[in-house]
Chains A and B, each alone.
Chain A
Amino acid sequence: MDLLVAVIILAVLGLIFGAILGFASVKFKVEGDPIVEQINEVLPQTQCGQCGYPGCKPYAEAIANGDAINKCPPGGEAGVKALADLLGREVIPLDEERGEEKPPRIAYIREDECIGCTKCIQACPVDAILGAPKLMHTVIVDECTGCDLCVEPCPVDCIDMLEIPQTIATWKWQQPEQMELNQIPIKQIFSKESH
């Protein structure tokens, strides 16, 4: 008899706690892995594949699973620092093997030389190249991430990577740490001879 009561008590307790946990698992449901989303937001979204992964999202997943944070040349040192802050890891220098940090650029197709082979269209990870077979192609400037992936496949080498010219629309304040000697430049106003 005692044994039966004991079993019933434990079963009832288990049921109650199970119900609480079931309710909590619905209430605190986590969609996907939020840390991957946060890492993905920090990455530059060039989809260039220089990190060795097919795109930024797969690299974000790899970082979340413990991969190094210094494999993203387009993100540069600032990107590594942002990732280190987010994940509580040490700041490490950019991996030289993956390429070096370059200023933001966009692809430009010299249209009169283009033979319309569509090879660059297939290479583009963000579908920023417009064109059809045997017709000349062109780049949608707003979509291009400057990843260099279309330069290699072009058989007539008609794609240039142009640096984005600084205009009033694209100019940004420099980050303080990128300024020379980490300080406000000092100018000598009057020379010694004037004394």
Chain B
Amino acid sequence: MGEYLLLFIGTVLVNNFVLVKFLGLCPFMGVSGKLETAIGMSVATTFVLTLASALSYIVNTFILAPLGMEYLQTLSFILVIAVMVQLTEMIIHKTSPILYRLLGIFLPLITTNCAVLGVALLNVNEAHNFVQSVIYGFGAAVGFSLVLILFAAMRERLAAADVPLPFKGASIAMITAGLMSLAFMGFSGLVKL
């Protein structure tokens, strides 16, 4: 149990996918303009990431590995992720049309979120078992959500702040992201993995 907790905390804070591993940066910059959208995107990404890492573990262990077809990993993981994203899109379209409209193009773009494929491939690389894979995927998603929501909240404040003209808009967002990344680097050494 302790090992799983360690893995979870380690993935959320120490090896944060966005700020330490620099994966999934495009939704991080793209959907962080508004807090509500960021929360919606976080929920959708959490759903996709967790299920995709579980499913790709199953596909890898029970279909690809016994047949010695590990070189199909990337291809089949992309397939799994695309299906998960399609499914999420359908569910959101049905349950919350307003969120569907707000997320717009970024919802299908979860497919190309490198964090999702990154989690699936890293699971294989680090030889995680099923529970570990799910926790790793979920932890990555929670880390992504945490950073995205924090960043969105900051950007909402920044919109009203008196920023010098040359730094306005995207540049102050980049600087903020860099400072956040620095802050998260401070967690390294908290958990040894």
Contact = CB atoms under 8 A, between A and B. Distances in A.
A17 B80 contact: yes
Nearest to B83: A17
Interface string A32-43: 011100100000
A21 B69 CA distance: 25
A14 B63 CA distance: 13
Interface residues of A, number: 23
B67 to A, nearest CB: 6
A38 B100 CA distance: 14
Interface stretch (A2-10, A107-115, A167-175, A180-188): A2-10
Given A21-B86, A87-B98, A88-B36, A14 B79 contact: yes
A54 B63 CA distance: 58
A28 B102 contact: no
B97 A35 contact: yes
A87 to B, nearest CB: 7
Contact of B98 (A14, A25, A35): A35
* Residue from A14, A38, A64, A88 having most chain B Cβ neighbours under 10 A: A88
A179 interface: no
Contact of A24 (B36, B76, B87): B87
A20 interface: yes
A34 B69 CA distance: 45
Contacts, number: 55
* Residue from A13, A29, A34 having most chain B Cβ neighbours under 10 A: A13
A91 to B, nearest CB: 16
Given A87-B98, A88-B102, A9 B69 contact: yes
A21 B91 CA distance: 11
Contacts of B34: 88
B165 interface: no
Interface in A54-86: 64, 86
B67 A10 contact: no
Given A10-B72, A35-B98, A86-B98, A30 B63 contact: no
Interface of B: 34, 36, 59, 63-64, 67, 69, 72, 75-76, 79-80, 83, 86-87, 90-91, 93-94, 97-98, 101-102
Interface of A: 2, 5-6, 9-10, 13-14, 17, 20-21, 24-25, 28-30, 33-35, 38, 64, 86-88
Going nearest first, the 8 A-B pairs with the smallest beta carbon separation are A28-B94, A28-B90, A17-B83, A35-B97, A34-B97, A24-B90, A30-B93, A24-B87
8 contacts: A6-B69, A9-B69, A10-B72, A10-B76, A13-B59, A24-B86, A88-B36, A88-B102
